[in-house]
Amino acid sequence: MKLVHCILAAIGVIACSFSDVQGADTDVKKSWDKSVIYLPNKTKPIKIDKVKLDKPCPVAIYMHGCGGIESNSDNDDWAKVIAQQGLLVIMPDSLARNDRKPSCDPKNRKSGLFPPVHDMRLEEIKFASDEVRKQPWFDGKNLFLMGFSEGAIAAVRTKLDGFRGVIATAWTCTNAKAPAFDGIFLPQETPLLTINHTDDPWYTAENLRGSCESKFTGRQNAQNL
């Protein structure tokens, strides 16, 4: 499990405070209420109201891709890998929101269909982070964030601190035509692991080609696979 060891090695320091994301819509709560949960060392997903643990544990917030939780098995596969390391994994359901429209067509690999989605995903990270910290099953210090594809874009664009580590996969951290998406906007001290695919059909456009590793300048605790 070389990948798992790399993930654990990349998430080594703790920060403490959160900054605010402005203008969050009240509808964001529905993404939290409809979350899918993987308990530590378990492989069967449950709903958030079914979470019962003997003791608090570390938590990973997992941001799914544009197609939602159900449409992509990568979400379940990643959640199981993380849960096997003893973390509770929570996947907020962005598509549960009434104020959200589909942002992509997975069948035809078309994206960018609903531009407001990117700010909404940042709202979801902020809301989930705040809610996790209220839960009796959270250990109070070990909060991680992972994003896949559209979720990875949000994961590297959030400016929140307080994450022990962030993992982003299936995103290049590159958009030459849109500065707001070109780069990594996490606090410099946040440990970061980025994971490239050798062939990702979603990012064939020239302005989207690249690697998050090229955006690591000034980051002392960042690794790309």
What is this structure's pTM?
0.87
List per-block mean pLDDT (blocks of 10 residues) for the chain, which spans 225 residues: 44 31 65 97 95 96 93 85 97 96 88 94 98 97 97 98 97 94 97 89 82 95 96
Per-residue pLDDT at 1:
40
Provide the pLDDT for residue 207: 77
Token pair, residue 43, equals: 């492989």
Backbone angles phi, psi at 169, to 5 degrees: -135, 150
pLDDT score at 8 = 47
What pLDDT, on a 0 to 100 scale, did the predictor assign at position 56?
A: 97
* HEC string for the chain: CHHHHHHHHHCCCCCCCCCCCCCCCHHHHHHHHCCEEECCCCCCCEEHHHCCCCCCEEEEEEECCCCCCCCCHHHHHHHHHHHCCCCEEEECCHHHCCCCCCCEECCCCEECCCCCHHHHHHHHHHHHHHHHCCCCCEEEEEEEEEEECHHHHHHHHCCCCCCCEEEEECCCCCCCCCHHHCCCCCCCCCCEEEECCCCCCCCCCHHHCCCHHHHCCCCCCEEEC
Radius of gyration of the chain from its Cα atoms, rounded to whole angstroms: 16
Residue type, 120: M
